[in-house]
Amino acid sequence: MMPRVSSGSIRLRLTTQLVVVAAVLSIVFVYSVWSVGKNTAETTQDKVLSAAAASIADALRTERGELVVDIPYSTFSMLEAISDDRIFYRIIVNGTTVTGYEDLPADPSLVDSRVPHFSNNVFVGEDVRTVAVKRSFSALGVPVDVVVFVAQTRAGYTRIASDVLSVAAWVGSGFFLFAIVLCLVASQSALRPLREVARAVERRGPEDLRPMRQLTPVEIAPLVSALNGFISRLESSLIRAEEFIADAAHCLRTPLAMIRTNAEIALRTTRSTPSRQALREILKAADESSRSTGQLLDHATVTFRSDNMKVERVDVVSLVADTIDRFEPVAEMKGIKLLSTPGRTTVDCRADPVLLRSALGNIIDNAIKYSPADSVIRVSTDLPLDRIRISVCDQGRGFGEKSCEMLTGRFTRGDNVEDIIGSGLGLTIVAKVVDSHQGELCIASNPEGAGTCVSIILPH
């Protein structure tokens, strides 16, 4: 049964959060690279511009009392080395433009001595970055202020910045895509221990109530220890239930025996036909009840002992013979012949004799119960394929359509036994014993005609 899915998927939540973090980091990366690139491009342009202006200013000199403006050839080379941008200049001496572009926006009053002054303007329809450098001279005792303006369009630098941005954007989106893959892998592996615990619980057999021992991450340890606590509570409550059933069966045995004894005495002393009839009914019911309580006790014993087996060397042939002896009187009462097929004299096996005897007893008991009068039950022991097989073949009605696995369930009975009282515990006990001996239980039709063969196959 699937649990109700109400609070979404941890994996989805984990992935989403990681992806959001990755997206934020990518955007921060792109933005910072872009702003650094833009800054670098602007700083570079400013530095080259001021170097160009300084080279013009440094070439200024006075000759025979006159100021000489002689632009060095290298001035514009350094500007064109970096980009294809247009270059403009203007040289103002004492407020008058002596050379250059007369309409280049320039305000000499803003320029301090020795410190390059930068401004952004528009000239011939384009954005330009302008630098101004000021020098003061004295020509024949008259102070002369020279301001050199050098301007350059910004297209090349804008392109550098946008190139940097596009590289950053590519790297950033690559990083983001890679991060998404990593997030998926990370959330997958983070949740793996949880799936492993679930699989371990799923793999367990219905009777396996041992605590979980596998190593788990700290985060899952509380879940596993809670699960273990739950398992141990479940186990102890199961044990309590078994004990209760065993106690109840035990308590019922003595009163049932008394009812039976007294009913027999009464039967012998009474002549009244209706009373005898009633007493026979009582006897029959008491027999059935004591058989059932016997089986419940057997079941409790088997359950207990299969967890604490006392394995020893057992001679299967004599065990079979003993069991046949034990059931001979009951079989005779129904006119059924119990035959042991002659074979080997001894077959040794390592098993718990109490459990094995109980299993074999239950099979024979079942066979007697469901066999018609004047039929034969054969018990044989042989060693096929180096294993030990004990088969009990009857001439009864068989088990009908139900499968072997269903028949060995507790309180489950064949399809065709509604007219006979039974608990359905017999084969459960047998199956449990066989299981605890790593053996096999085989139920098949009798190859010699009607009836069923129930075989226990044990390892040698």
Contact residues: other proteins, CB under 8 A:
68-77, 79-80, 84, 86-88, 98-100, 124-126
Least Cα distance to 98 among 111, 88, 89, 87 occurs for 89
Q: Which is nearer to other proteins, 124 or 241 (CB)?
A: 124
Q: Which is nearer to other proteins, 82 or 376 (CB)?
A: 82
Q: Across the strands, what pairs with 137?
A: 144
Closest separation in Å from C-beta 53 to other proteins: 14
Closest separation in Å from C-beta 59 to other proteins: 10
Check: CB of residue 440 under 8 Å from CB of residue 434.
yes
Least Cα distance to 424 among 408, 446, 445 occurs for 408
For residue 231, what are the contacts with CB-CB under 8 A and spacing of at least 6?
209, 210, 211, 212
- The helix-helix angle for 74-82 and 10-58 (nearest 10°) equals 170
Closest separation in Å from C-beta 69 to other proteins: 5
Closest separation in Å from C-beta 102 to other proteins: 10
Closest separation in Å from C-beta 172 to other proteins: 30
Which pair of structure tokens corresponds to residue 429? Answer: 């006990």
Q: Which is nearer to other proteins, 163 or 405 (CB)?
A: 163
Closest separation in Å from C-beta 47 to other proteins: 18
Closest separation in Å from C-beta 80 to other proteins: 5
Q: Which residue has the tokens 């098993």?
A: 351
Q: Which is nearer to other proteins, 61 or 344 (CB)?
A: 61
Q: CA-CA distance, 84 to 89, in Å (whole number)?
A: 16
383 φ, ψ to 5°? -125, 70
Q: Which is nearer to other proteins, 101 or 175 (CB)?
A: 101
* Residue at 75: amino acid letter: T
Closest separation in Å from C-beta 183 to other proteins: 43
Q: Which is nearer to other proteins, 76 or 175 (CB)?
A: 76
* Residue at 333: amino acid letter: M
Q: Which is nearer to other proteins, 103 or 448 (CB)?
A: 103
Closest separation in Å from C-beta 91 to other proteins: 8
Q: Which is nearer to other proteins, 100 or 361 (CB)?
A: 100
Q: Which residue has the tokens 């407020």?
A: 95
Distances (CA, A) of 225 to 182, 193, 202, 216, 232: 31, 14, 17, 10, 10
Closest separation in Å from C-beta 114 to other proteins: 23
Q: CA-CA distance, 48 to 46, in Å (whole number)?
A: 6
Check: CB of residue 159 under 8 Å from CB of residue 93.
no
For residue 6, what are the contacts with CB-CB under 8 A and spacing of at least 6?
none
Q: CA-CA distance, 453 to 335, in Å (whole number)?
A: 20
Q: Which is nearer to other proteins, 69 or 444 (CB)?
A: 69
Closest separation in Å from C-beta 71 to other proteins: 5
Least Cα distance to 327 among 373, 377, 402, 382 occurs for 377
Closest separation in Å from C-beta 126 to other proteins: 7
Q: CA-CA distance, 378 to 359, in Å (whole number)?
A: 16
Q: Which is nearer to other proteins, 132 or 320 (CB)?
A: 132
- In degrees, rounded to 5, the angle at the alpha carbon of residue 310 between the alpha carbons of residues 428 and 308 is 60
Cα 9 to chain centroid distance, Å, stands at 13
Q: Which is nearer to other proteins, 45 or 408 (CB)?
A: 45
Cα 3 to chain centroid distance, Å, stands at 15
Cα 277 to chain centroid distance, Å, stands at 66
Q: Which is nearer to other proteins, 46 or 80 (CB)?
A: 80
For residue 390, what are the contacts with CB-CB under 8 A and spacing of at least 6?
316, 320, 360, 379, 380, 381, 455, 456, 458
Assign 315 to helix, strand or coil: strand
